[in-house]
């Protein structure tokens, strides 16, 4: 069975979700990788890389969908986010997987019909799509939303 790996990149929290390409989203798996904010950036990136690598190895995705990074907040925040995002991009390249990137507004529009939806609205729609009452944190829900965006917009991959 082929799977999409959806990633919501972040230095503090990186959400991930695995959805089957040709089956119901209810068979999804998801989680959140956290790094230790007390550690220096390079240690946090190594930790993130190894945890993501384990997901790539164990879950064997067939393609990766990732949320695009919006630059505009403080420069240190943007650089840290870009560094964390690069771990996902690097692993996608190392595993020779197709990569699809989606802007946050596009993901929100696909999931809710509104490109400026709130986090709570996205979480709600993700739980509806998964037909689950399990609580997802916003990072997990965003990762599922990225994977669902790939599933809904590129079904013939």
The terminus-to-terminus CA distance of the chain in angstroms comes to 14
Residues in the chain, total: 157
Q: Which one of 8, 13, 140, 142 is the catalytic residue?
A: 8
Q: Report helix, strand or coil for 107.
A: helix
Give, for 91, the enclosing helix (H) or strand (E). helix 75-94
Q: Which one of 13, 67, 140, 142 is the catalytic residue?
A: 67
Q: CB–CB of 112/127 below 8 Å? A: no
8-47 burial, b if ≥16 CB within 10 A, otherwise e?
bbbbbbbbbbbbbbeeebeebebbbbebeeeeeeeebbeb
* Residue 58 among the catalytic residues: no
* Residue 139 among the catalytic residues: yes
Q: Which one of 13, 139, 140, 142 is the catalytic residue?
A: 139
| Active site amino acids | 8, 67, 139
């Amino acid at each position: 069975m082929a799977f999409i790996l959806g990633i919501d990149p972040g230095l503090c929290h990186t959400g991930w979700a695995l959805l089957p390409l040709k089956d119901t989203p209810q068979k999804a798996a998801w989680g959140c990788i956290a790094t230790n904010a007390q550690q220096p950036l390079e240690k946090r990136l190594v930790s993130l890389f190894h945890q993501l690598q384990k997901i790539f190895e164990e879950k064997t995705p067939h393609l990766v969908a990732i949320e695009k990074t919006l630059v505009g907040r403080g420069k240190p925040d943007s650089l840290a986010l870009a560094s964390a995002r690069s771990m996902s991009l690097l692993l996608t390249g190392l595993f020779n997987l197709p990569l699809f990137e989606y802007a946050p507004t596009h993901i929100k529009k696909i999931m809710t019909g509104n490109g400026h939806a709130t986090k709570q609205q996205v979480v709600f729609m993700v739980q509806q799509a998964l037909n689950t009452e399990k609580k997802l944190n916003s990072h997990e829900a965003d990762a599922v939303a990225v994977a669902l965006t790939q599933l809904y917009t590129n079904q013939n991959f």
